[in-house]
Amino acid sequence: MEDNLKKGTTTVVVVYDKGVVLATDKRASMGYLIAHKNAQKLFKITDTIGATCAGIVGDIQSLIGLLEAEANLYEMKNGKKISTKALARLTSNILQGQRYYPLIAWLVLGGCDSNGAEAYSIDPVGGVNRDTMISTGSGSTMAYGVLEDRFRENMTLEEGIELSVRAINAAIQRDLATGDGIAVAVIDSSGYRELSKEEIETIAVKVKNK
């Protein structure tokens, strides 16, 4: 029951010139209670696709598990990895099928494949929107303020990471349900990787001093 009550977060996904940056905070809240300070909100679906999630923890875990299984099944059947666009459509179909008993999970899928770098926002009833900068969760209003002001097309990797960290930091400063650190992942032609705590702290200091 506790997991089903956890809510509140901020996630950001930014498309840069050669890939996608995914960033989230680490706080899981339950009303005014901080339920966890190291919640997982970044997920590796395949070597080329990752996701950020906002919503109810139990629903998120169920949906992510299903997507991982479907992506693996697709690769076994077709001898190639599923594309970001195809997985976004599959996610939409799953959520559409649950619309009368919806999964409270707002996903952003980001990936880099033969179609290039892409990001898709998928709401709890299956609405899909492709964009180059996306934020979800309780702190998204603050994050979007930073994204709208500083985002530009064809940013470098360094610029994309710095912007994502800056946007999450803005939410941490103003949203009670956002906090306890930042997690960042990058997806490019080399695949999915998560930045270390030391790398993120260095970037956060650099952003603060700019």
The catalytic residue positions are 9
Structure-block tokens of residue 165: 């960290």
Strand partners, 12: 23, 135
Structure-block tokens of residue 185: 């992942």
- Other C-beta atoms closer than 10 Å to the C-beta of 87 total 26
Strand partners, 179: none
Nearest CA to 182 out of 200, 202, 161 is that of 200
80 CB-near residues (< 8 Å, 6+ apart): none
